Structure formats: C-alpha cells, structure tokens
C-alpha cells in the first residue's frame, strides 16, 4: 500500500496503529509506503503504535515527511493507550525506514521509540532526519530496545521510557 502527497492537520498523519489487540488472531501489517506527506499542528507524524498482543509490522517506509508543530514527529510504541505489557509484547516491528523527515517539533523531542524488550525492533534505518525543537535548537532522540541501533543511522540521546504517553504534552 502506498500513501502519498497528503497534507494533514490535528491528528496522526502517517500512522500504523491499534494492531495487536485481536485476541487469538495475530495482526499483520506489511509493505507500506508513506511518501510526500506534510503534517501540520498534529499529535504525531511517522508513527507506529501497537497493543502488546501478537502479530507483526514489517517493511514500512516513511519518506519525504515534513513536520510543522508536531508533538512527536517520529514515534514507536508497543503498548498504545497504557503502559501495560510494553516490555513483554511479542508483536514484532521490523524493517522500518525513515528517510528525509524534516521540520520542527512542538516540543523538545524529535524521536521517541520504545520497542519491547521481549521483541526488540530490528532492521530500523534512518536517513536524513533533521527535526528541530520548537525553540529551533537540537531535539532529543529517545530510543529503547532497537537491535543494531548503533548502525541504524540514528544517534540516540537517551532512553525512551516504557510508560511514554500516547500524546506528548510539554518538553522532556
């Protein structure tokens, strides 16, 4: 599936979400491309959110994304809506690329990625990520449980907590 040439406001823009809640049946999302998307005054932009259930998210590309006044421009969580099961989720998230994601965050966090400790994220790639904080300075890049993070192209500035809120409000 390809989603391209979109301008969105006031909600998540390029979002894969609310999967893994189907009891007994794994949810599978694969082969998705988000391209040429502008997110203005939005809660999230390039976002993957799951429940701590079963299934997988694989082979996703977020490319040529421009953010303007976005709470969390790049965000990944395995326990949407609560902090239950964040580190025990078996839902895998793999082979995700963020390429040419630029602009300004509403707060001082550009990236918040917390992958499950039980199923760490694999195959993450980051190319040309240039997101500034609201004040124009450098923004935080918070990451937890990404396999081979050192070679992903993203330099994390600190860990992302398991109980990270769905909607970030304020600086961290």
- Residue 27: the pLDDT is 86
Mean pLDDT, the chain, whole residue set: 88
Instruction: Please state, in angstroms and rounded to a whole number, the distance separating the CA atoms of residues 101 and 72.
Output: 12
How many residues belong to the chain? 172
Instruction: Report d(CA 169, CA 8) in Å as an integer.
Output: 20
DSSP state of 98: E
Q: Percentage of residues in the chain with pLDDT exceeding 90?
A: 58
Residues 107-150: tens digit of each pLDDT = 999 999 999 999 999 999 999 999 999 888 789 999 999 999 99
Give the Cα separation of 88 and 51 in Å (integer): 11
Neighbours of 84 (CB within 10 A): 12
Which three-class secondary structure state does DSSP give residue 169? Answer: coil
Q: Where are the alpha helices (DSSP H) in the chain?
A: none
Q: Quick: pLDDT tens for 18-69.
A: 888 766 778 899 999 999 999 999 888 999 988 887 889 999 999 999 999 9
Give the integer Cα–Cα distance in Å for 169 and 162: 16
Tell me how far apart the alpha carbons of residues 97 and 88 are, in angstroms, rounded to a whole number.
24
Which numeric CATH code is attached to 2-151? 2.160.20.10
Nearest to 78 by CA among 124, 119, 33: 119
Question: What's the pTM?
Answer: 0.91
Beta pairing partners, 102: 66, 130
Residues 68-98 have pLDDT tens digits of 999 989 999 988 777 777 898 889 999 999 9
**Antiparallel, parallel or unpaired: β 72-77 and 109-114:** parallel
The CA distance from 124 to 155, in Å, is 12
Q: Categorize the per-residue pLDDT at 13 as very low, low, confident or very high, splitting at 50, 70 and 90.
A: confident
In this prediction, residue 2 has a pLDDT band, given cuts at 50, 70 and 90, of low
């Amino acid at each position: 599936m390809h989603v391209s040439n979109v301008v969105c406001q006031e909600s998540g823009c390029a979002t894969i979400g609310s999967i893994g809640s189907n009891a007994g049946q794994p949810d599978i999302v694969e082969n998705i491309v988000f391209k040429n998307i502008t997110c203005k005054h939005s809660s999230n932009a390039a976002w993957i959110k799951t429940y701590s259930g079963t299934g997988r998210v694989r082979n996703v590309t977020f490319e040529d994304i421009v953010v303007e006044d976005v709470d969390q421009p790049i965000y990944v969580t395995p326990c949407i809506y609560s902090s239950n099961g964040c580190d025990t989720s078996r839902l895998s998230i793999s082979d995700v690329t963020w390429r040419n994601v630029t602009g300004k965050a509403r707060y001082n966090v550009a990236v918040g990625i917390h992958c499950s400790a039980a199923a760490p994220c694999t195959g993450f790639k980051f190319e040309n990520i240039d997101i500034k904080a609201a004040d124009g300075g450098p923004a935080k890049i918070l990451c937890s449980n990404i396999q081979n993070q050192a070679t992903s192209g993203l330099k994390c500035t600190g860990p992302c907590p398991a109980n990270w809120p769905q909607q970030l409000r304020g600086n961290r």
